[in-house]
């Protein structure tokens, strides 16, 4: 294959290049940042690390491109591979985000402790409700899962909880219709501005649980359910 010739060529170029160590450094940094972006728990820092990794990869590619005096094709293949891998990562993150969160949050099915919660959601969407150990009252939907924190279960009464669950169920039902980047943004930022999507989810929640329950839930958790 041509690419092996390119790699040989790159090896030769790097041996004679004065910036070989720089190319290697950029690649090491970008791999380290990418790995870190999977380990970091805070959504905002995770996204920042991921973006930094992208920049480091771009620098690595630019440095490689500069080094390839004999041929420029390897940079092209590297770039293609990079775009492909990034695409798969981003696609995978959206698709398997709930599996990831179940593991990360050590979430358990909410039906185990509050049977009605799962039954209520079953009427609205095909989704599993999970709870996780956190004092901060939070709820969010991802994939086919709804996550609620113990703090949320403690602070809300049944009607308010229904409003929150209906809101999240609406998200599950409409996930496929939510623009891809918006989904990613909602997932990666812990808080976000009220949007058209949130208003639609809220009006669905109000139609199920009542406007009053929704607004008192909103007041109690102050926009931490998305
Ligand atoms: Zn929402």
Q: Split the chain (226 residues) into runs of 10 and give each run's mean pLDDT.
A: 71 75 86 86 73 82 73 69 78 77 94 95 95 92 90 94 95 73 55 67 94 91 63
Q: What pLDDT score was predicted for residue 88?
A: 79
Q: What pLDDT score was predicted for residue 189?
A: 46
pTM above 0.75, yes or no: no
Taking the centre of ligand 1 as the mean of its atom positions, its distance from the CA of residue 193, in whole angstroms, is 10
Residue 140, helix vs strand vs coil:
strand
Contact 49, 43 (CB under 8 A): no
Question: Residue 184 corresponds to which tokens in the numbers above?
Answer: 């990613």
Q: What pLDDT score was predicted for residue 206?
A: 95
Provide the residue ranges of all domains of the chain, joining segments of one domain with +. Answer: 2-95, 106-221
* CA nearest neighbour of 146 among 90, 101, 189: 101
Q: What pLDDT score was predicted for residue 96?
A: 79
Taking the centre of ligand 1 as the mean of its atom positions, its distance from the CA of residue 140, in whole angstroms, is 7
Taking the centre of ligand 1 as the mean of its atom positions, its distance from the CA of residue 170, in whole angstroms, is 8
Taking the centre of ligand 1 as the mean of its atom positions, its distance from the CA of residue 225, in whole angstroms, is 6
Taking the centre of ligand 1 as the mean of its atom positions, its distance from the CA of residue 4, in whole angstroms, is 49
Taking the centre of ligand 1 as the mean of its atom positions, its distance from the CA of residue 172, in whole angstroms, is 10
Q: What pLDDT score was predicted for residue 187?
A: 58
Taking the centre of ligand 1 as the mean of its atom positions, its distance from the CA of residue 200, in whole angstroms, is 9
Q: What pLDDT score was predicted for residue 176?
A: 65
Taking the centre of ligand 1 as the mean of its atom positions, its distance from the CA of residue 171, in whole angstroms, is 6
Q: What pLDDT score was predicted for residue 190?
A: 41
Fold category of 106-221 in CATH: Zincin-like (3.30.2010)
Rg (C-alpha) for the chain, rounded Å, is 23
Taking the centre of ligand 1 as the mean of its atom positions, its distance from the CA of residue 15, in whole angstroms, is 54
Taking the centre of ligand 1 as the mean of its atom positions, its distance from the CA of residue 222, in whole angstroms, is 12
Taking the centre of ligand 1 as the mean of its atom positions, its distance from the CA of residue 2, in whole angstroms, is 49
Q: What pLDDT score was predicted for residue 214?
A: 93
* CA nearest neighbour of 166 among 192, 139, 185, 193: 139
Taking the centre of ligand 1 as the mean of its atom positions, its distance from the CA of residue 76, in whole angstroms, is 40
Q: What pLDDT score was predicted for residue 184?
A: 61
């Amino acid at each position: 294959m041509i690419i092996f010739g390119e790699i040989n060529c790159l090896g030769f170029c790097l041996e004679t290049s004065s910036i070989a160590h720089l190319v290697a450094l950029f690649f090491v940094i970008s791999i380290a940042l990418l790995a870190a972006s999977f380990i970091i728990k805070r959504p905002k820092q995770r996204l920042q690390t991921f973006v930094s990794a992208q920049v480091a990869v771009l620098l690595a590619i630019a440095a490689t491109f500069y080094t390839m005096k004999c041929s420029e094709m390897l940079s092209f293949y590297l770039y293609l591979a990079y775009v492909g891998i990034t695409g798969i990562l981003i696609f995978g993150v959206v698709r398997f985000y709930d599996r990831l969160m179940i593991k990360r949050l050590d979430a358990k099915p909410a039906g185990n402790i509050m049977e009605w919660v799962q039954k209520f959601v079953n009427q609205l969407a095909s989704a599993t409700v999970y709870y996780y150990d956190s004092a901060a009252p939070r709820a969010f939907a991802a994939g086919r899962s709804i996550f609620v924190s113990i703090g949320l279960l403690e602070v809300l009464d049944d009607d308010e909880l229904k409003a929150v669950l209906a809101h999240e169920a609406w998200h599950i039902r409409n996930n496929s219709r939510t623009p891809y980047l918006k989904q990613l943004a909602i997932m990666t930022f812990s808080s976000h501005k009220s949007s058209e999507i949130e208003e639609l989810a809220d009006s669905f929640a109000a139609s199920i649980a009542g406007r009053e329950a929704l607004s008192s839930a909103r007041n109690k958790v102050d926009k931490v359910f998305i």
